[in-house]
Amino acid sequence: MANSASDVLKMVKDNEIEWIDLRFTDPKGKWQHLTMVASVVGDDELTDGLMFDGSSIEGWKAINESDMILKPDLDAVWIDPFSATPMLI
C-alpha cells in the first residue's frame, strides 16, 4: 500500500505501470470506474482528485449539476495481478 502521491508515482515507475483504474460505486451501489494512461496521472491528480462529469451515472444529477471530483484513496492502491498489461487500481 502507498501512503502518499509520491509513493504511488514511484510504484507506477518501478513497476512500469501502463494504466491506472479508479473504481467507485454510484449512489445505487453499481460499480463504476475511470481508466487512464498512467502517464497522465501526476501528483496533483492523486492529491487533489480528478474532475469528471457525473451526468452519465444513473441516479445522479442533471448535466448542469453533475461536476464531480474523484479523489483516490492512496492507502488502498494495489497492482492488478490479473490485468494483461500492468495496471494500478
| CA neighbours closer than 13 Å in the CB half-sphere of residue 4 | 3
- CATH 3.10.20.70 at 5-88, yes or no: yes
Handedness of CA 74, 75, 76, 81 (dihedral sign): positive
Domain range annotation of the chain: 5-88
Q: What is the pTM of this model?
A: 0.82
State residue 2's pLDDT score: 52
Average pLDDT of the residues in 56-67: 70
Residue pLDDT, tens place only, 6-39: 999 999 999 999 999 999 888 888 898 989 999 9
Average pLDDT of the residues in 53-66: 71
